[in-house]
Amino acid sequence: MSKAGLALGGGGARGLAHIGVLRVLEKEGIKPRAIAGCSIGSLIGGLYAYYGNSEKVEKFILEAIKNPVFRVLGFDKLEGYNKNDSRNYFEHFLDYLGERIKAIMALERIAYFEGAQADEVFRILPDVPIEKFRIKYSAVATDLISGHEINITSGSLRQAIRASSTIPGIFPPVKLDGHLLIDGSATDTIPAGKLRNLGADRVIAVDVSHDLKSASGPRNVYDVMFRTEAITSHHLSRLRLKEADIVIVPDVKHLSWTDFSRSDEIIKAGETAAYEHLEDIKKLIKSGSVSLRVKRYMKRINGE
């Protein structure tokens, strides 16, 4: 029997589309044997690996968005920005903070939120051992010290999600097993390759990254630096996606990563995209290992 794995990428609010994809797969009786996620993908994927039910995941996420603790992040203030602006969270946050960023720098803090505040934000997540899940799970984070990609497959789900989605400069890095961890997007936005390490023999990836084409010209040095980082991340993602057998791309690239108020629309986009790929997914599940290897070989030859 085939063992399908699901790679869920990062993208802030756009990642709510992962819920729609999971909903469709569930309705069709397609249960992933393994899930690897980065940032919001680690959150959605981790909750699904724990609950085993897309409806419970959706309920948890929608309740979390309404939770007063969530408002500490200031997403409601950031939603007023131009939706065609491709800047990331840190860039928006710089604008939002204004002169206050100077005070932060003067205090030589490494993050805007202190450890206790971050604890409060992430406390709503289940603190359960990953290794007991029926669905194998991996959260991808980045070690600030070595620069290496860190694959978290055991220990606390809360800690794994926190490490994978710790926005650099906003939340303090997570200390875990001798590492100093931040958001996995710095090394692997869509961790398709991690699924084979979890025993998956075919990979379905969900890409909710931003559309680079919507960017305007740089206004200052910060725009140049962060735009450069975004371009690097984009091309890294394209490289990682070559390891997937099927790539689902929900129609959310035009949305801001702060658009949590449009959750219904984003989840629906995930459903629509999953249905569009449903026949290919079913063929992938049913295909034999030999024919699959031939197909992958042809993709490599064609440079896909």
| 95 among known catalytic residues | no
Own/partner pairs for 141-144, CB < 8 Å, 24+ apart? 141/166, 141/174, 141/176, 141/179, 141/181, 141/182, 141/183, 141/184, 142/181, 142/182, 142/183, 142/184, 142/185, 142/186, 142/187, 143/179, 143/180, 143/181, 144/168, 144/173, 144/180, 144/181, 144/182
Catalytic residue among 39, 164, 209, 237: 39
> How far, in Å, CA of 261 to CA of 66, rounded?
10
For the question of residue 138 being annotated catalytic, the response is no
Single out the catalytic residue among 143, 183, 207, 245: 183
HSE of 76, CA atoms in CB hemisphere, 13 A: 8
Helix intervals (H) in 135-277: 157-164, 194-197, 221-241, 263-276
**Total residue count of the chain as it appears in this document:** 304
- The Cα–Cα gap between 73 and 223 comes to 22
Joined tokens for residue 148: 């290496």
How far from chain centre, in Å, is Cα 58?
16
Token match 């962060």: residue? 226
Using DSSP's 3-state secondary structure scheme, residue 295 falls into helix
Helix (H, G, I), strand (E, B) or coil at 32: coil
Q: Which residues are catalytic?
A: 39, 183
